[in-house]
């Protein structure tokens, strides 16, 4: 039987013919001929691969230009190959390697339980039921939610994909709509819908460390339908509360907008011979560290209706004037601070003065902030408080409280799944609602840090800008290094109050100055 050889997809017929001749030369022991054919094969194969990748990149670029996202990512996967996470041995909390299947499973359960462990010093203060309900779920609203859920995605613990409901059409709509309506009115969630399956996805760094993995949650697709409706109801309140600097998970906004903003700021700073300092903030396990009680409070403060909050609780249990001043032979002696004061006293518009200040100012500093396990550290009680303060309706908050109350999870590893364990904090990566809830959580931090009220920042066209955000990623910017440190300390203190810690290893400081 002829042996089959694995061939690269980019090899041309010419390269394959040379490969056959090379194989024959090797089997006959013709070393010189083999060496010559091998060099020829490598040259032609390299040419073929370059041409293949060039064609693939053109197709990827065209798909991106046309907005064909699915075709874009499919072509990228076909080009670079499918990623398969390797989960061999991992380290225990003491740094010792674990190789036995049961020991690895126990370590994953231990790590994940600790990550989502509730703060016992912050007791629950919610009964999980309210009577002032939001309007019922319309059938057309339910059909929209069902049809908008992405297909070809991994299902939750029940193993039922959304495609099944979409195929059944009216029969599925009638039954599921009735179930969702019951949950909406009672704010009580089926226990199976509170269960999540965590899939560890490796990040950069040592793959033996559990902390170097994203824990992505798989949930029931049936549950995703009502979560989609709940998200749409919350969106109207979120749009009123979130500032323009937050571009994360918002319609018509994205990462590219913030990249463009920073590039534009740097270009303008260089145009006016000015330095800028940036601080890039990263939270450690940002989503995972959200305190539920604090989240509910935030939703309340931001005006989210009590009904929606309760559902969540139960689920988690002008003109421009120019003034030209000319002092003969005295340009070098002008005191900038006195000049700005004189311009203000003479009624020069603030935005014009700011342009002049920027023209003569010094450095601009950037600080890129990253939270450690941001989503995983959200405190539930703090979250409910935030929802309350932000005006989220009590009904929606109650739905959230009951959704998060008594949640359970398991971790699926290469050696099987762990035992089920309780979830005490965090908004899971993989949940439809998590980005929305974390945006409100982060907004609460920035408000308390006083970033909107402070005069610190970059003055551009009459507007004061001191930070840009994309979900849990925050960039602080200042003209003074000391002012940047002050802003960073304010953000650090307010973040720690709600359970989020800055990820020092991933944070960066950047200074942008004039090109000399």
Is residue 183's pLDDT more than 80?
yes
Same domain, 164 and 274: no
Please name the residue ranges forming H helices in 88-214: 101-115, 139-148, 162-168, 170-186
Is residue 469's pLDDT more than 60?
yes
Same domain, 30 and 179: no
User: For 203-215, what is the mean pLDDT?
Assistant: 82
Same domain, 248 and 379: yes
Is residue 380's pLDDT more than 50?
yes
Whether residue 72 lies inside any domain: the answer is no
Rg of the chain, C-alpha, whole Å: 28
Q: Of 239 and 334, which is predicted with more confidence?
A: 239
Same domain, 464 and 371: yes
For residue 223, what are the domain limits? 101-237
Whether residue 78 lies inside any domain: the answer is no
What proportion of the chain, given as a percentage, has pLDDT over 90? 0
Whether residue 8 lies inside any domain: the answer is no
Is residue 331's pLDDT more than 60?
no
Same domain, 269 and 223: no
Q: Of 131 and 240, which is predicted with more confidence?
A: 240
Of 246, 235, 255, 286, nearest to 469 by C-alpha is: 246
Lowest mean pLDDT among 116-120, 243-247, 335-339, 376-380: 335-339
Is residue 412's pLDDT more than 80?
yes
Beta bridge partners of 3: none
pLDDT band, very low/low/confident/very high, at 325 (cuts 50, 70, 90): very low
Placement of tokens 């995983």 in the chain: 376
Mean of all residue pLDDT scores within the chain:
78
* DSSP designation for 455: -
Q: What is the pLDDT at residue 333?
A: 55
Same domain, 202 and 221: yes
Same domain, 123 and 45: no
User: For 445-470, what is the mean pLDDT?
Assistant: 77
Same domain, 332 and 468: yes
Same domain, 275 and 186: no
Is residue 428's pLDDT more than 50?
yes
How far from the centroid of its chain's Cα atoms is residue 421's Cα?
25
Give, for 235, the enclosing helix (H) or strand (E): helix 221-241
Q: What is the pLDDT at residue 327?
A: 37
Burial class of residue 418, CB neighbours in 10 A (0-12, 13-18, 19+): buried
How far from the centroid of its chain's Cα atoms is residue 197's Cα?
20
Q: What is the pLDDT at residue 84?
A: 56
Q: What is the pLDDT at residue 124?
A: 62
Is residue 480's pLDDT more than 60?
yes
Contact indicator for 399, 226 with CB cutoff of 8 Å: no
Whether residue 315 lies inside any domain: the answer is yes
User: For residue 64, what are the contacts with CB-CB under 8 A and spacing of at least 6?
Assistant: 72
Q: What is the pLDDT at residue 232?
A: 85
Q: What is the pLDDT at residue 321?
A: 24
What tokens were used for 197?
């399956």
Number of domains in the chain: 3
Residue 407 to residue 209: CA distance in whole angstroms: 25
pLDDT band, very low/low/confident/very high, at 175 (cuts 50, 70, 90): confident
Q: What angle do CA 419, 422, 428 make, to 5 degrees?
A: 100
CA distance to 218, 401, 408, 411, 430, per residue, from 157 (Å): 7, 21, 11, 11, 14
Contact indicator for 298, 382 with CB cutoff of 8 Å: yes
Same domain, 114 and 230: yes
Is residue 5's pLDDT more than 50?
yes
Q: Of 464 and 36, which is predicted with more confidence?
A: 36
Q: What is the pLDDT at residue 82?
A: 60
What tokens were used for 296?
């509910």
Q: What is the pLDDT at residue 111?
A: 86
Give, for 109, the enclosing helix (H) or strand (E): helix 101-115
Is residue 31's pLDDT more than 80?
yes
Same domain, 185 and 312: no
Give, for 499, the enclosing helix (H) or strand (E): none
Query: What dihedral angle (degrees, nearest 10) is formed by the CA atoms of 237, 243, 247, 251?
Result: 40
> pTM for the complete prediction?
0.61
Q: What is the pLDDT at residue 360?
A: 53
pLDDT tens digits for range 9-19: 778 888 888 88
Beta strands in 250-388 (DSSP E): 276-291, 306-316, 364-388
Most confident of 357-366, 410-419, 457-466: 410-419
What tokens were used for 244?
């323009």
Contact indicator for 156, 221 with CB cutoff of 8 Å: yes
How far from the centroid of its chain's Cα atoms is residue 264's Cα?
23
Q: What is the pLDDT at residue 330?
A: 43
Same domain, 261 and 207: no
Lowest mean pLDDT among 121-130, 165-174, 263-272: 121-130
Contact indicator for 476, 277 with CB cutoff of 8 Å: no
């Amino acid at each position: 039987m002829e042996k089959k050889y694995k061939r690269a997809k980019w090899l041309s017929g010419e390269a394959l013919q040379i490969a056959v001749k090379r194989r024959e030369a090797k089997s006959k022991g013709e070393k010189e001929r083999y060496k010559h054919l091998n060099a020829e094969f490598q040259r032609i194969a390299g040419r073929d691969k370059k041409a293949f990748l060039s064609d693939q990149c053109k197709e990827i670029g065209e798909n991106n230009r046309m907005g064909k996202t699915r075709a874009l990512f499919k072509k990228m996967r076909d080009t670079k190959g499918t990623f398969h996470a390797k989960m061999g041995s991992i380290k225990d909390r003491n740094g010792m390697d674990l190789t036995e299947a049961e020991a690895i499973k126990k370590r994953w359960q231990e790590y994940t339980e600790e990550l989502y462990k509730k703060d016992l010093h912050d007791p629950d203060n919610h009964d999980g039921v309210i009577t002032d309900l939001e309007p019922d779920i319309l059938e057309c609203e339910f059909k929209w939610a069902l049809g908008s859920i992405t297909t070809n995605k991994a299902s939750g613990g029940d193993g039922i994909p959304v495609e099944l409901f979409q195929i059944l059409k009216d029969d599925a709509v009638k039954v599921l709509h009735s179930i969702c309506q019951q949950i909406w009115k009672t704010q009580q969630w089926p226990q199976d819908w509170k269960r999540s399956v965590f899939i560890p996805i490796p990040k950069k760094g040592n793959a033996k460390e559990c902390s170097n993995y994203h824990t992505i949650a798989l949930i029931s697709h049936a549950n995703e339908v009502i979560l989609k409706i709940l998200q749409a109801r919350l969106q109207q309140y979120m749009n009123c509360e979130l500032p323009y600097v937050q571009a994360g998970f918002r319609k018509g906004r994205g990462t590219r907008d913030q990249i463009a903003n920073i590039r534009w700021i740097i270009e303008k700073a260089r145009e006016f011979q000015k330095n800028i300092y940036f601080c890039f903030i990263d939270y450690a396990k940002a989503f995972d560290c959200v305190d539920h009680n604090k989240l509910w409070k935030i939703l309340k403060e931001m005006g989210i209706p009590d009904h929606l909050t309760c559902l969540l609780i139960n689920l988690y249990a002008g003109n421009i004037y120019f003034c030209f001043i000319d002092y003969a032979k005295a340009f070098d002696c002008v005191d900038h601070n006195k000049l700005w004061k004189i311009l203000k006293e003479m009624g020069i518009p603030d935005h014009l003065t700011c342009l002049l200040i920027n023209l003569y100012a010094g450095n601009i500093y950037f600080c890129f902030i990253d939270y450690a396990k941001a989503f995983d550290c959200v405190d539930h009680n703090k979250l409910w408080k935030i929802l309350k303060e932000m005006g989220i309706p009590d009904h929606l908050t109650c739905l959230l409280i009951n959704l998060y109350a008594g949640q359970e999870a398991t971790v699926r590893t290469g050696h099987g799944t762990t035992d089920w364990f309780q979830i005490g904090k965090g908004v899971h990566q993989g949940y439809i609602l998590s980005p929305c809830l974390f945006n409100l959580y982060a907004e609460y931090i920035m408000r308390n840090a006083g970033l909107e009220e402070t005069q610190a920042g970059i003055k551009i066209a009459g507007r004061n800008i001191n930070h840009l955000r994309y979900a849990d990623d925050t960039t602080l910017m200042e003209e003074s290094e000391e002012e940047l440190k002050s802003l960073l300390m304010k953000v650090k203190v307010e973040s720690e109050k709600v359970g989020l810690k800055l990820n020092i290893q991933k944070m960066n400081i950047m200074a942008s100055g004039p090109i000399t």
